[in-house]
């Protein structure tokens, strides 16, 4: 099989010739510091290192790196990505240095740090922090999801990839509804408002739905016919379990997020890859009802996320994208031999019956040694054959 056939076969939950492998995008890429060390280790030159997402400080790996690891997916990346910073030069806001995104969220870090020492930028100034009513939300100067500026030239680029290569094509995230509330209000206030002022959260999610529906429609009208996978962001869990009750999720979040999924399925035949870190096992039946086809990044170190158990319980209704190696412990701190063995065990669980794309669990972080990255992807290629 070629890469596109391999990916689509496994996402239809059938066994391909080998497990597809991913490195790239916004949730399975690599931090710029780790990437530069990897380039030196592999003796590969990338003269034009590009960010996949400036806020996370992750890069778009060059073709030589992707070829070295036999990566099956390529990304159709709009200008700026999901979090579109207005200016690539970080600016100072009080105790923070960072950048504003299209919603007015300031992504920053400690202003006392040297820029080269900043590993990533967090949402630290929340434009909705003082909002107390639905009218505050409605009267906000929301960005225009119909703006075609980020997508200039993408149609031609996507068609060239589709016609001239055999890779599967994916988008970075084209939507983020509940999770973006945590950026707008702050994480704690969002959780508080779910209980105390649900009307404000619902109004915000409805406005976000309008923006992301327009954004996704504009984007996918340009390139949808070329795609195999479309990504959406969510983050409704942490390592110990859901961050809200399932009842709140079902009543408030699920109906709104379902509408974006339905719109995407109306525009393109591509599968939807939904991103949520943490312990998401309780959500998976709901994700299937929303018509998400894939979950990412499959954080196997979280509660109730053991690979064989996940596959046994949910392998008939959901595909898994990630789950390659424990990115909190084994990958940064283990030996190449330990990494190889963990990849082997995880493949034994996730491989049977298809439904598995192997990638790092979220982005490869700055401290990961290059020899461990090589060990992980070499093991994926070693144990991937059916």
User: What pLDDT is stored for residue 86 in this prediction?
Assistant: 66
Phi/psi at 356 (nearest 5 deg)? -145, 125
Q: What is the pLDDT along the chain (386 residues), one digit of tens a residue?
A: 999 999 999 999 999 999 999 999 999 999 999 999 999 999 999 999 999 999 999 999 999 999 999 999 999 999 877 888 867 789 999 999 999 999 999 999 999 999 999 999 999 999 999 999 999 999 999 999 999 999 999 999 999 999 999 999 999 999 999 999 999 999 999 999 999 999 999 999 999 999 999 999 999 999 999 999 999 999 999 999 999 999 999 999 999 999 999 999 999 999 999 999 999 999 999 999 999 999 999 999 999 999 999 999 999 999 999 999 999 999 999 999 999 999 999 999 999 999 999 999 999 999 999 999 999 999 999 999 99
Any idea where the domains of the chain sit in the sequence? 3-83+135-383
For the chain, the three-class secondary structure string (H helix, E strand, C coil) is: CCHHHHHHHHHCCCCCCECCECCECCCECEEHHHHHHHHHHHCCCCCCCCEEECCCCEECCCHHHHHHCCCCEEECCCCCCCCCCCCCCCEEECCEEEEECCCCCEEEEECCCCHHHCCCCEEEECCCCCCCCHHHHHCCCCCCCCCCHHHCCHHHHHHHHHHHCCCEEEEEEEEECHHHHHHHHCHHHHHHHHHHCHHHHHHHHHHHHHHHHHHHHHHHHHHHHHCCEEEEECCCEECCEECCCHHHHHHHHHHHHHHHHHHHHHHCCCEEEEECCCCCHHHHHHHHHHCCCEEECCCCCCCCCCHHHHHHHHCCCCEEEEECCCCCCHHHHCCHHHHHHHHHHHHHHHCCCCCEEEECCCCECCCCCHHHHHHHHHHHHHHCEC
- Answering whether pTM is above 0.85, one says yes
Relative orientation angle of helices 198-223 and 154-164, to the nearest 10 degrees = 60
Closest CA to 384 of 167, 171, 71: 71
Q: Are the C-beta atoms of residues 307 and 19 closer than 8 Å to each other?
A: no
Closest CA to 58 of 80, 30, 78: 30
User: What pLDDT is stored for residue 80 in this prediction?
Assistant: 76
User: What pLDDT is stored for residue 88 in this prediction?
Assistant: 77
Instruction: List all residues 6 or more positions away from 38 whose beta carbon is below 8 Å from its beta carbon.
Output: 30, 65, 370, 373, 374
User: What pLDDT is stored for residue 79 in this prediction?
Assistant: 82
Closest CA to 342 of 317, 379, 371, 303: 379
CATH number for the region 3-83+135-383 comes to 3.20.20.210
Q: What is the residue whose two structure tokens read 């079902």?
A: 250
Q: What are 69-99's pLDDT values in tens digits?
A: 999 999 999 987 788 886 778 999 999 999 9
User: What pLDDT is stored for residue 84 in this prediction?
Assistant: 84
Q: CA dist 385 to 63, 315, 347, Å?
A: 23, 19, 10
User: What pLDDT is stored for residue 83 in this prediction?
Assistant: 85
């Amino acid at each position: 099989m070629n890469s596109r056939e391999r990916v689509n076969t496994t996402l239809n939950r059938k066994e391909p010739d080998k497990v597809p492998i991913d490195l790239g995008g916004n949730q399975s890429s690599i931090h710029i510091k780790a990437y530069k060390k990897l380039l030196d280790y592999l003796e590969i030159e990338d003269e034009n290192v590009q960010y996949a997402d400036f806020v996370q400080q992750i890069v778009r790996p060059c073709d030589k790196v992707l070829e070295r690891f036999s990566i099956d997916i390529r990304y159709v990346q709009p200008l700026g990505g999901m979090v579109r910073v207005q200016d690539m030069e970080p600016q100072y806001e009080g105790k923070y240095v960072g950048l504003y995104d299209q919603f007015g969220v300031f992504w920053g870090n400690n202003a006392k740090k040297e820029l080269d020492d900043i590993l990533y930028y967090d949402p630290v100034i929340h434009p909705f922090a003082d909002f107390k009513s639905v009218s505050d939300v409605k009267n906000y100067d929301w960005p225009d999801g119909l703006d075609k500026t980020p997508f200039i030239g993408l149609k031609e680029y996507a068609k060239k990839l589709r016609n001239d290569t055999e890779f599967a094509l994916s988008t970075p995230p084209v939507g983020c509804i509940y999770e973006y509330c945590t950026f707008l209000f702050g994480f704690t206030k969002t959780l508080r408002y779910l209980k105390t002022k649900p009307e404000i959260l619902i109004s915000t999610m409805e406005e976000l739905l309008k923006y992301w529906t327009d954004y996704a429609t504009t984007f996918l009208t340009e390139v949808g016919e070329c795609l195999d996978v479309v990504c959406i962001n969510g983050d409704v869990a942490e390592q110990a379990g859901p961050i809200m009750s399932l009842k709140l999720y079902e009543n408030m979040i699920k109906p709104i997020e379902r509408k974006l999924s339905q719109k995407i399925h109306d525009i393109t035949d591509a599968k939807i890859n939904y991103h949520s870190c943490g312990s998401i096992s309780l959500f998976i039946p709901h994700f299937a009802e929303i018509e998400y086809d894939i979950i990412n990044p499959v954080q196997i170190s979280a509660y109730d996320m053991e690979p064989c158990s996940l596959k046994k319980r949910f392998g008939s209704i959901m595909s898994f994208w990630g789950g390659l190696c424990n990115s909190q412990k084994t990958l940064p701190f283990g030996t190449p031999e330990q990494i190889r063995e963990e990849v082997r065990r995880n493949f034994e669980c996730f491989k049977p019956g298809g439904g598995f794309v192997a990638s790092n669990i979220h982005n490869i972080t700055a401290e990961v040694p290059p020899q461990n990255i090589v060990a992980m992807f070499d093991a994926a290629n070693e144990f991937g054959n059916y």
